[in-house]
Amino acid sequence: MTIKDRVLRFIRRMNWPMIIVMAMALVLGVLFIYSSCYIREEQPVRSFYKRQIMWIALGAVCYGICAGYDFRRLVRSGGVLYAACIVLLLLVLVMGKRIYGARRWLMLVGGIGIQPSELAKLATLIFFARLLSLPEINLRQLKTFFTMLGVLALPVVLILRQPDLGTAMAFIPPAFIMMYVAGVPLRYLLSVVMLGVLVAGLILGALVLTDNENLSEETRAKIQKTIPLGEYQQDRLKVLLWPDRDPLGAGWNKNQSEIAVGSGGMWGKGFLKGTQNILGFLPRSVAPTDFIYSVIAEEKGFAGSAFVLCLFGAVVVLGCRVALFTPDRMGRLLCVGIVAMVFCHVWINIAMTVGLMPITGLPLPLLSYGGSFLIMTMSSLGILQSVYARSPRRLLG
């Protein structure tokens, strides 16, 4: 085979539509990180976009490595990856760097921090693909189901201890979707989901009760104690329940984000012209990270926000297409898991931006500023590419 043939084969085996979608999202991300930070006084913040480009370069390397590495070997080492991440999560609880009361970062040499919880997302997903595709596994057994739940619960509990409710919650939907696709009986899954809904309902109910004027102060305090959430988490839920309650305090971020989105209109105020952002009404510390979408929505209007939605729609379609055409069960589950994970982040983040969900602090994949999550997302897409490249020709052709 000549070199030319090899190059051609390599190019043919790339999932070009997916790469183009990914590149567009990354470019948008850099542009709007710049837009949300260029007004800031602090020099390091103003150059966030440069650092994001650096992260993208690093992410591209990871993408290449994951794409070149045989995903089957990767999945087979899922157990090791999972165990390593659990160790890292334990480490972060012991010696993590505390920022605003939460230990989420492990500091490496040179002042660079990583968030083990991001790595754990991918590792858990790979381990799940491994377990669910074991030939001897019987998914209809209740015992199997509980084992799977245990595997899922371990990192979730550790991340809750940091505490980081948002990230912990982001683990659950992709895992359930993978189990559903793998063939775990729907009634098992639904009963757990119902249980979750019930608990959430109880918490919301209790929250409403604490606000009931008819009850005595004492009873309300007692009810308050039973709610297993921190005060700021309760505040965020209350903001969702009663949006007009405390617009200058706890409701500030939410209202400002909604105003930013709403004032964008059809075509937006123009790049670098978002007043909500420039005037600092959007909380500065989160504008380039968790609230990047409201910056886009303000400056580029519905056109821009819908375009971003379409990009992620394309990720879903292209990713599921890979899953559909992969003969390998391992690869199929892996693809579904990755797509589900990206989708969950996108959905929760945007729903939070428009006020459908409480503020949880989940980033928007490929667009939000932040190294760990970006590298994790790009590596996941690299794995997707690895699955794609190892599929039979009918998919490629």
Partner 1 sequence: MSRPLNKELVRIKIVAGAMLAGLLLLGGVLWHEQVVKGQEYKHSLDRQSMRRVRLPAVRGLILDRNGICLARNRPSYCIAMYVEELRKPGRREKTVEEVDRLIVELSELLEIPREVDRDDIRKHLRISMPMPFLAWRGISEEVLSRWSERTVRQRGIDVYVEPVREYPQGHTLGHVLGYVRRADPPEDLEFPYHYYLAEMEGGEGIEKSMNEKLCGESGGRLIRVDASGFRHEEMAERDPREGRNLVLTIDSEIQKIAEEVLEDVRGAAIILDPRNGDVIAMASAPSFDPNVFVPRIPHDAWNRLNTDSRLPLFNRCISGTYPPGSTFKPLVALAALDSGTVTSAEKLACPGYFDLGKARFHCWNRRGHGKLAMRKAIEQSCNAYFCRLGLECGYEHIFRAAYRIGYGRRTGIELRGEARGLLPGDAWKRRARGDAWRSGDTCNVSIGQGALAVTPLQMAVLTATVANGGQLYRPRLVMGESSRGELIQHVGWSSKSLSLVKGGMYDVMQAETGTGKRGRIDAVAMGGKTGSAEYGPKLSNGKRKKHVWMTVFAPFATPRYAVAMVVEDGTSGGITVAPRIRELMTGIFELESTRKSGRGTGRGA
Give dist(CA 16, CA 7) in Å, integer.
Answer: 15
Dmax (CA) of the chain? 83
- Told to check if 222 binds partner 1 by CB under 8 A, we report no
Give the residue, chosen from 14, 19, 24, 39, that forms a contact with partner 1 under the rule CB under 8 A.
39
116-175 residues near partner 1, rule: CB under 8 A? none
Hey, is 62 helix, strand or coil?
A: helix
Show the tokens assigned to 350.
């945007």
What is the amino acid identity at position 162?
Answer: Q
Give min distance, CB of 65 to partner 1, in A. 27
What's the Cα-to-Cα distance from 65 to each of 31, 131, 296, 319, rounded to whole Å?
A: 26, 24, 31, 19
- Residue whose CB is less far from partner 1, 294 or 386: 294
Burial class (CB in 10 A: 0-12, 13-18, 19+), 178: buried
- C-alpha 173/C-alpha 179 separation (Å) is 10
**φ, ψ of residue 307 in degrees (nearest 5):** -60, -45
In a 3-state reduction of DSSP, which class is residue 71? helix
Q: 32: which 2 tokens?
A: 């709007």
279 binds partner 1 (CB under 8 A): yes
Torsion angles phi and psi, residue 283, rounded to 5: -55, 120
Which residues between 237 and 256 bind partner 1 (CB under 8 A)?
A: 244, 246-249, 255
Q: What share of the chain is helix, strand, coil (3-state, %, to 5)?
A: 70, 5, 25
- Of 87 and 197, which has the nearer Cβ to partner 1? 197
Confirm if 364 and 346 have CB atoms less than 8 A apart: yes
- Report the residue from 41, 136, 217, 218 that binds partner 1 according to the rule CB under 8 A: 41
Q: Out of 347, 390, 395, 396, name the contact with partner 1 by CB under 8 A.
A: 347
24 lies in the binding site for partner 1 (CB under 8 A): no
Number of residues that bind partner 1 (CB under 8 A): 55
Choice from 93, 278, 395, 396 touching partner 1 (CB under 8 A): 278
Radius of gyration, alpha carbons of the chain: 22
For residue 163, whether the previous peptide bond is cis, meaning omega lies within 30 degrees of 0, is yes
Question: Any contact of residue 271 with partner 1 (CB under 8 A)?
Answer: no
Nearest approach, Cβ of residue 347 and partner 1 (Å): 5
Which of 21, 75, 346, 387 forms a contact with partner 1 (CB under 8 A)?
346
Q: How far apart are CA 54 and CA 62, in angstroms?
A: 13
User: Which of 13, 14, 38, 153 touches partner 1 (CB under 8 A)?
Assistant: 38
CB 4 → partner 1: shortest distance, Å?
37
For the bound state, the minimum distance from the C-beta of residue 31 to partner 1, rounded and expressed in Å, comes to: 17
Least separation in angstroms between residue 345's CB and partner 1 is: 12
Output 47 or 255, the one with its CB closest to partner 1.
Answer: 255
Alpha-carbon gap, residue 26 to 47, rounded angstroms: 16
**Which residue from 325, 339, 330 is spatially nearest to 377, judged by alpha carbons?**
339
100 binds partner 1 (CB under 8 A): yes
Whose structure tokens read 């309902």? Answer: 201
205 versus 247: smaller Cβ distance to partner 1? 247
Please identify which residue in 262, 328, 361, 390 interacts with partner 1, judged by CB under 8 A.
262
Query: Which of 98, 140, 225, 273 lies at the binding interface for partner 1 (CB under 8 A)?
Result: 273
Nearest to 106 by CA among 87, 80, 121: 87
The pattern of x and - marking residues 316 through 345 that bind partner 1 according to CB under 8 A reads xx--x--xx----x--x---x--xx--x--
Contact pattern from residue 177 through residue 216 relative to partner 1, giving x for each residue in contact according to CB under 8 A and a dash for the rest: x--xxxx---------------------------------
Comparing CB distances to partner 1, the nearer of 76 and 329 is 329
Contact 268, 303 (CB under 8 A): yes
Helix (H) or strand (E) holding 266: none
Contact residues for partner 1, defined by CB under 8 A: 38-39, 41, 100, 177, 180-183, 244, 246-249, 255, 258-259, 261-266, 269, 273, 275, 278-281, 297, 301-302, 305-306, 309, 312-313, 316-317, 320, 323-324, 329, 332, 336, 339-340, 343, 346-347, 350-351, 354, 356
